[in-house]
Structures are given as structure tokens and as C-alpha cells.
Amino acid sequence: GGGGGGGAEEARRYAALAVANLSSEAENQAAMSAVPSIFRDLAGLLGTTDRETRCYAVGSLANLAYRSPDNQRRISAVPGALEGLARILATEGDAPDLCRHSARALANISRGGGGGGGG
């Protein structure tokens, strides 16, 4: 809830926005994926009370999972990441952008589960 701490939440929101913007460019994704805690940190933002921050974090996960089986596996391995994305779909029906990003993230992550082929 409300009151104090707005500065920290605002800082998280802008950091998540920056990551979302950077992760939308393919040439940035490898460098970003090399940051050891990036997937855990983004998944941790799925539970924040700030909807904009959640939206940026979900978009970042979707971007980083796109066409990257390694990132898909790494995101799936983060405790609570898939559950957090599914929870957004189940509870955020009044936030279509957030749901769209969450569905895209889950779709991109699930593409890594199959065997060979692709390209």
C-alpha cells in the first residue's frame, strides 16, 4: 500500500522499463542474458503491486525468451516464474496489455520444450 517507499517503486518501474526497451532489440539479448540474476530479478517483479512494473518485467521475459531455447530453459528454472506469469493471466483480466505480454512470455517459453528442428 500507499504512502512512503514511492521512490523505490518508481526506481524499480524505470529499471524494468529500461530492461524491457533494451530486451526488445535482438542484439542486446545475448549481453542481457549473461547477467547472472536477470531472470530471477525479472521474475521477482511479477509480484510487485505496481502494475506498470509488472507489465515491463513480463514484456522483458517475453522478449528474452523469444527464439532462445537457453533463455526459455533458464526462465522456466526460476522458482515461481511460470506460476507468476500464469497468475497474471488468471487475475489481471482488466489489464489487457499485461495479459497479452504474459501470454506472449508463456508462449515463447513453451516453444523451447520440444525436440529438434526449427529455424
Give the CATH number of the domain where residue 28 resides: 1.25.10.10
Instruction: Report the C-alpha gap between 64 and 62 in whole angstroms.
Output: 6
Is 20 a member of any domain? yes
Q: Report how many domains make up the chain.
A: 1
- Measure CA of the first residue to CA of the last residue in the chain; give whole Å: 46
Is 116 a member of any domain? no
Interacting residues of 78 by C-beta distance below 8 A, sequence separation 6+: 39, 40, 43
Please check the confidence at residue 119 and state whether its pLDDT lies above 60. Answer: no
Is 1 a member of any domain? no
Domain that holds residue 20: 7-110
Average of pLDDT values for 103-117?
A: 75
Query: What is the DSSP code (8-state) at residue 117?
Result: -
Interacting residues of 88 by C-beta distance below 8 A, sequence separation 6+: 46, 54, 58, 98, 99, 102
Is 13 a member of any domain? yes
Is 117 a member of any domain? no
Percent of the chain with pLDDT over 70: 89
- Regarding predicted confidence, which is higher, 1 or 97? 97
pLDDT of residue 116: 38
Average of pLDDT values for 101-109?
A: 97
pLDDT, one tens digit per residue, over 67-103 is 999 999 999 999 999 999 999 999 999 999 999 999 9
Is 31 a member of any domain? yes
Is 118 a member of any domain? no
Is 42 a member of any domain? yes
